[in-house]
Amino acid sequence: MAIERLAIKEFLAKSRGKVLLDVRSPGEYNHAHIPSATSFPLFTDEERKIVGTTYKQKSREDAIKIGLDFFGPKMRKMVEEVEEIVGNWQSAIGDRDPNCKLPTANSVFLYCWRGGMRSAGVAWLLDLYGFKVYTLAGGYKAFRNYVLQTFERPFQFKILGGYTGSGKTEVLNELEKNGETIIDLEKIASHKGSAFGAFKMPPQPKQEMFENLLALELLEKSVVNGQWSMGEPDRPGNDSPFT
């Protein structure tokens, strides 16, 4: 099957609810990634550093050879891991809807930092094995540009204010039940915006990841009449929608 290279909007639309792999290093992924992506690193953080240093200090060709030394022994395991990921995804769909017709091709979407050699190498391997592979043109960098462009768009909001503990979350939940569009900054930031806002909340995402989550939430829930959002400090926890 031919590998398809998609621009950011088409990539996000087609990969929604599908297997999405981030082939950057674990450190890059942990800093920030496309929401819903699974970490599937071609190189460890140390291997990536070695390849990058070789590229800068020696040559592109030497860096590729070292990269191949790291890549070669991992090939079989990587194929088997993707088989497992796709199998789990198909099982999850079947559990949710037993009558759902699963895709005939094992589609996999993936990206690296700039849509270069890392995603090309993994895409080649998975395509060779028989997966239908889609890559992101421009990689994660293209996604980040898309996120930043999203924040330049005008959005209409209705802000629900009130003191901490006054029941704002409950009001938002009721509004959502009645068909209103809700942007829950507390949920996205994993912080309630008060002195004890992180109590019993998941780990707070880094600022860049917060922006990624918020941008996709805005794009998915954008409506003509505006969204409801809870009135929060400029910086819920360590994250800010206004930086």
The single residue of 19, 42, 110, 112 carrying the catalytic annotation is: 112
Specify the length of the chain in residues: 243
Active site residue 100: no
C-alpha to C-alpha distance for 110 and 83, rounded to whole angstroms? 14
* Residue 162 backbone class (left: φ over 0; alpha: ψ -120 to 50; beta: rest): left
Determine how many CB atoms are found less than 10 A away from the CB of residue 57: 9
Q: Alpha helices of 16-59 — where are they, by DSSP H?
A: 26-31, 45-57
C-alpha to C-alpha distance for 124 and 71, rounded to whole angstroms? 12
Q: Which residues pair with 4 in a beta bridge?
A: 134
Do the beta carbons of residue 27 and residue 93 sit within 8 Å? Answer: no
Which residue type is seen at 131?
A: F
At 98, give phi and psi (nearest 5°).
-60, -25
DSSP state letter for 204: P
C-alpha to C-alpha distance for 171 and 167, rounded to whole angstroms? 6
| Catalytic residue ranges | 112
